[in-house]
Amino acid sequence: MAASRQARRVYTCWSRFSFAFFVLTSLVVGNDSFSRQVSMHYNPGCNITECQSSSNDNNSHSNLVHVLARGNRDSIHYVWSTIGAPTVLMVHTTSKESKLTVDWEKLLRTTKGGISGAITVEPSNAVDFSMAVIFNKIWEYEDLHDKSELPEDNTGMFEAYDLAQMRWDDFNVTMNATSLTGNFTGTTTQSDMESLFQNGSISFKIHAFSTDDRSADLPHLQYTSNQTQFDFTIDSVEPRGNMSRYAMELTFITEDKKGMHVDLKKLQSIDDEYTPGVFQLFELTTMHSDQTESYVQWKPVCYTKHTRTMGVATPTKTYNLKDLDTKGIPADTIARAYFTNMDSLQRKALNISFGLTGDGSYVATNFTSWTASVGYGAPPSEKLSLLIIVVISTGLGIPVAIIMFGGLFMCCRRKDSEKGEKEKDEYTRVNGSETDVIN
């Protein structure tokens, strides 16, 4: 009976331990996921002819896409546009009723330099933070020595593709307001390069989200309702060299508040579960008084075929941040339409090149695709998945539990054994004493 009681006590302890472990695991893998009401609109409120067709000089469509993410107490406005140059503008407000207004006449019919104030968000006193990312140029260089890095002395550099001089297709044809996706696809209008785009294009596929999860395609970046993701792709553009590689210049514009600074971080990870072979994560963040206001996040990997697999993955290289003069900002971009004084802003630029030594360069497949995300607040951090935690717990937890359970069981057996010996000894001594008295 005593042994049975001890066994029940051990079982009760083990059950409590298991329950506590389960609760702890749930807390570890749990997250603060929340959702937003997200909508996507193409050229909202535009009734002039420039919005209806490719009626400008280079037959390019005037694409502007408004992604509105409403929360319970705030709103995030994402404005993606190919007007001037491919740009994403992000405005966070403390009002869930804030509205985006576009003065289309001013934006599309004003001469260069006069579009300031064409885009506003009201009420203005609810605007908490604003930033923009501009995709300025695509660099092409001849990598004769297969070093897979941009040459510092411009040796082997071809004339850059200026993304402000592109002919863009109608985004509305590809937009899906339900899945919150769409494609900006363009070809160059630079006269000496147009033939290189005869069968090729440069594109940005954007994707907004109303909840938190991971992208279904490699590199499986995490996403939240506070961000939008994009896939940048160079597809079938004719290379100008036998060992051509490409790089892209990104410009980052943000408010210059007191205590504001822009940081480029390279984070290491011990886990490559979602992106096999990739243990790094890059973040370009805006910090204000130790609080992250916005970010651009990416993994240093791109893909050389449409179907993304490990076998077609190749690394990217990220170069140092540099200050940028206002002259480096395209004249007609929506960043100039929103920010009224470029001189008062922080302006940074960086290059990202695609490919690794020995991968055959761009000419091997004539295809390169790279993914990144732009968001408000702190970027999502890499966490171990529930599957990995269960595997680790199984591999380490069960042996420890067996040792603990076995130790408890042996202690209980030993205690019962000692108690039994003591009772037997006392009975023998008492019985012996009674015999002596009778005799």
Token code pair at residue 367: 């295809």
The predicted structure's pLDDT at residue 299: 97
Amino acid 218 reads L
pLDDT tens for 210-268 read: 999 999 999 999 999 999 999 999 999 999 999 999 999 999 999 888 788 999 999 99
**Which DSSP string corresponds to 127-168?**
EEEEEEEEEEEEEEEE-TT---S--TT-TTBPPPEEGGGEEE
Task: Please write the tens of the pLDDT for every residue from 309-322.
Answer: 999 999 999 999 99
Per-residue pLDDT tens over the stretch 418-427: 666 655 555 5
Cβ–Cβ < 8 Å for 275, 220: yes
pLDDT mean over 262-276: 87
Q: Whose CA is closest to 145, among 234, 242, 236?
A: 242
Q: CA 92 to CA 32: how far, in whole Å?
A: 20
Q: What are residue 32's phi and psi, to 5 degrees?
A: -95, 40
Q: Which of 274, 282, 335, 342 is nearest to 310 (CA)?
A: 274
pLDDT at 365 over 80: yes
pLDDT of 65 higher than 70: yes
Q: How far apart are CA 361 and CA 304, in angstroms?
A: 9
Q: How far is CA 89 from CA 253, 300, 401, in A?
A: 9, 23, 53
What pLDDT is recorded for position 163?
Answer: 97
| Axis-axis angle for helices 2-29, 398-438 (nearest 10) | 160
Among the ranges given (55-64, 158-167, 169-178, 205-214), the one the predictor scored with the smallest mean pLDDT: 55-64
Band of pLDDT at residue 195, cut at 50, 70 and 90 = very high
Q: Are 361 and 243 in contact (CB under 8 A)?
A: yes
Looking at residue 9, its pLDDT comes to 58
Percent of the chain beyond pLDDT 70? 78
pLDDT-based confidence at residue 37 (cuts at 50, 70, 90): very high
Q: Where are the alpha helices (DSSP H) in 321-397?
A: 334-338, 386-392
Helix (H) or strand (E) holding 21: helix 2-29
DSSP 8-state code for residue 35: -
Alpha carbon 249 to its chain centroid, in Å, reads 18
Query: With 90 as the cut, is the pLDDT of residue 407 above it?
Result: no
Estimate to the nearest angstrom the gap between the alpha carbon of 200 and the chain centroid.
27
Give the residue among 288, 285, 291 at the shortest CA–CA distance from 256. Answer: 288
Q: How far apart are CA 349 and CA 136, in angstroms?
A: 9
Which of 272-296 are b and which e, b meaning 16 or more Cβ less than 10 Å from the residue's Cβ? eebbeebebbbbbbbebeeebbbbb
In whole angstroms, what is the distance from residue 223 CA to residue 372 CA?
A: 10
Instruction: State the chain's mean pLDDT as an integer.
Output: 86
In 3D space, the residue among 64, 131, 65, 120 whose CA is nearest the CA of residue 92 turns out to be 131
Where does residue 229 rank: exposed (0-12), middle (13-18), buried (19+ CB within 10 A)? buried
**What are the tokens at 400?**
């420890």
Burial class (CB in 10 A: 0-12, 13-18, 19+), 83: buried
Q: Which amino acid is at 390?
A: V
| Of 122, 123, 121, the residue nearest 131 (C-alpha) | 121
Least confident of 50-54, 84-88, 139-143: 50-54
